[in-house]
Amino acid sequence: MSCKKPQQAEAIAKGDQEAIRNIKALRISEQIYNERRRQANAEKIQALKDSQGSTNAPTQPTAAQSPQRIIRLEYPGGAINVGIDSKDETKLLNALKNAGMRTV
C-alpha cells in the first residue's frame, strides 16, 4: 500500500526498530496474500477450463443404455425437461399426479 513507504521512512528516521520490523512483516504478509489470491484465481480458471472441456467432449451412447424420452414439466415460474426411460414414463406421470402436480 502507498502509506507504508512514508511510514517506513518515518520509522527509520526515528530509529523505531519495532515499527520497521512490523512494516516489513506487513509487506511480506501482503505479498503472501497476493500470491495466494493469484494461485486461487489460476486454479478457478483451470477448473473452469477443465469443466468446459469435459462438457464439450462428445459422449458416445452405449448399447446398454435404453432410449430416453424427454418430458417437459411446466409450472408457474419455470419449466424443466426430464429425461426418462420410456418404460418409466407412466410411472413418473402417475407419481406427479399423486403428488398433486399438473403436467402439460
Find all residues with CB under 8 Å of 102, minimum gap 6, and list them.
Answer: 75, 96
Element housing 79 (H / E): strand 78-85
Domain chopping of the chain, boundaries: 4-56, 68-98
Tell me the pTM: 0.41
pLDDT per residue, tens digit, the chain (104 aa), is 445 678 878 888 888 888 888 888 888 999 999 999 999 999 999 999 888 876 655 555 555 566 677 877 777 788 888 787 877 878 877 777 777 755 54
